Amino acid sequence: MTVKCSICGKRPAIIYRSSSGEYICRNCLEKVVRKNVKRTLARSRILKAGSNIMLYATWLAPVESIVMTRVVPRVEARYKTRITLAYPEGMESLIFQDVAERSPYEWSGRKGFLAECILNDIGHARSLCESKGCDAIVTPYPRLMLVKAGLQAVMAGRTDLLKASRQYHPEDPPIVNALSGLEKELILQYAYVNNIPLLDPAGSCDDLGAGDVLMSILPESREVEFSSLKALVELSKFS
């Protein structure tokens, strides 16, 4: 028996979203992802009509990077946003092809704690953004990855990494994480439906077992709920 989409009630569902209990068809999946990314960008309040932004793709989050490069340009098309796509060598054939301004960069790998790898990425993104004259940076890190990085820093006693992640100078280009409102499961489902290869992250970034700790507290077959994620992030601030 074909299961109908929980959202439109018309088309056959192709995925099950365990975080909401919904069965979703292809069309509604596209709408859900775009709507979520649009809301995340709008809530950041750093993008305006005619903004000049940089999409920063990275091998630390390859699947999310490819999803970001396909979704954000479509969301921002109506606002006439200028987009520069910065991507690591080797990702050329996988990213969205309709972005006019493209800026490949040499991938030197990332080593160390996961939080250090992300901070190195962000530092590199800021340098590229400034050199290209962009107003803001859009990154692809999934929220679970950021929480793992924060939890790892707590476990390792590296409060310096937590402080560094929160440091912001007025002259720095602002950053918004486009996929932060989407659970990892849905990002992977979207990628699979759109024939995006499910690539493993590159680099030697250790989470010191933070991932295992998170998995031990997750509800079965579900990702951490957003309220729980916020609680973990807040916990990391006081360590």
- Per residue of the chain (239 residues), what is the pLDDT tens digit? 688 999 999 999 999 998 888 999 999 999 999 999 999 988 887 777 778 889 999 998 999 999 999 999 888 888 778 888 999 988 877 776 666 688 888 877 667 778 788 888 888 999 999 999 998 999 998 877 877 777 777 777 776 766 665 555 667 788 888 998 898 889 999 999 999 988 888 765 655 454 454 444 444 444 444 444 444 444 444 43
Instruction: Please report, for residues 11, 71, 91, 221, 232, the alpha-carbon distance to residue 36 in angstroms, rounded to integers and kept in the order given.
Output: 21, 10, 25, 22, 22
Cα gap 93→13, rounded to integer Å: 29
Provide the 3-class DSSP secondary structure of residue 205: strand
Rounded to an integer, what distance in angstroms lies between the CA atom of residue 97 and that of residue 85? 10
Domain 34-237 CATH class label: alpha beta
How far apart, in whole angstroms, are the C-alpha atoms of residue 47 and residue 178? 12
Report the predicted TM-score, pTM, of the whole model to 2 decimal places.
Answer: 0.81
Report residue 219: phi and psi, to 5°. Answer: -65, 150
Q: How far is CA 93 from the centre of its chain?
A: 20
